[in-house]
Amino acid sequence: MAAPAPDAWIKDATDQSFMADVVEASRATPVIVDFWAPWCGPCRQLSPPLEKAVKAAGGKVRLVKINIDENPAIAGQLGVRSIPAVYAFDRGRPVDGFVGLLPESQLKMFVDRLAGGGAPGDAGGAEEAIAELLAQADESLALGDLGGAAQAYATILSVDPEHVKAIAGLARAYLASGDAARAEETLSLVPDDKKSAPEIVSVRTALDLAAQAAEAGDAAPLLAAVEKNPNDHQARFDLANAYVARGDLAKAVDQLLILIEKDRAWNEEAARKQLLKVFEAAGPTSDIVKAGRRRLSAILFS
């Protein structure tokens, strides 16, 4: 018997057919429900990549689309207040969902997770999606989009709870937002056999540095003091520590390098010693470290 065509995995449903098309159908195959409306622009954006991900799953998951303008009852019962709203049903009950748009890589992970690990012949598809999502998360973190980064890292961890880079990234996002307690809590997710991973060691160092720098104070008045007197070395050193305390290692490196350039011997080379600790916190492969080491070499050997 021939396998059903991909379009057979996607269908429209109504309030009246919901029990059969979604609840009962999900007892055999997981079903994704897409609540949409013709006037909804984001719904039109979500539809193509969502359908693509469902077709790529090769029949391991089905997609049911419900126009809430014509079928408001089920959406109301489920508490749908904004669209697009997506619910996943498995074994007759809702098990997952999201509201709004998601990047295509996250959509693929959402579908693959429901399908149980990806489409036939697509081994490694989930791994590719995770790698793409991790790159996006790292970029968001570097650009200061802490919310976007945290969401992306959390999505990875929903699929792979022991993903070391995602744990480290999420901890860094919390630290950068000033929430050291949640960063510490996130690190507790690391399995014992992975606690020595370079990414985890770097974040641990960053947390320790932040705790040590907590007494540096708010960055704003320290920055004002440095701008008023560029040769106020103590204020600049404290400013660097204030940046460390909130996880902004790039700005901390910048201030420490300026101080080293102005007076490398100040306070028994305190700036250089602190800079090396910041490098360890950032991690050896970090762009912050690569750029910082080049600048440090230029200063020391000029």
Q: Which residues are the active-site residues?
A: 40, 43
Contact (CB, 8 A) for 53 and 115: no
Could you identify the residue written with the tokens 């600790």?
277
Q: Which residues contact 193 (CB under 8 A, 6 or more apart)?
A: none
Name which of 95, 187, 205, 106 is nearest 148 in CA terms: 106
SS3 state at 188: coil
Sheet arrangement for strand 62-67: 10-12, 62-67, 31-36, 85-90, 93-99
* Amino acid (1-letter code) at residue 50: L
Residues 112, 108: Cα–Cα separation, whole Å: 6
* Amino acid (1-letter code) at residue 294: R
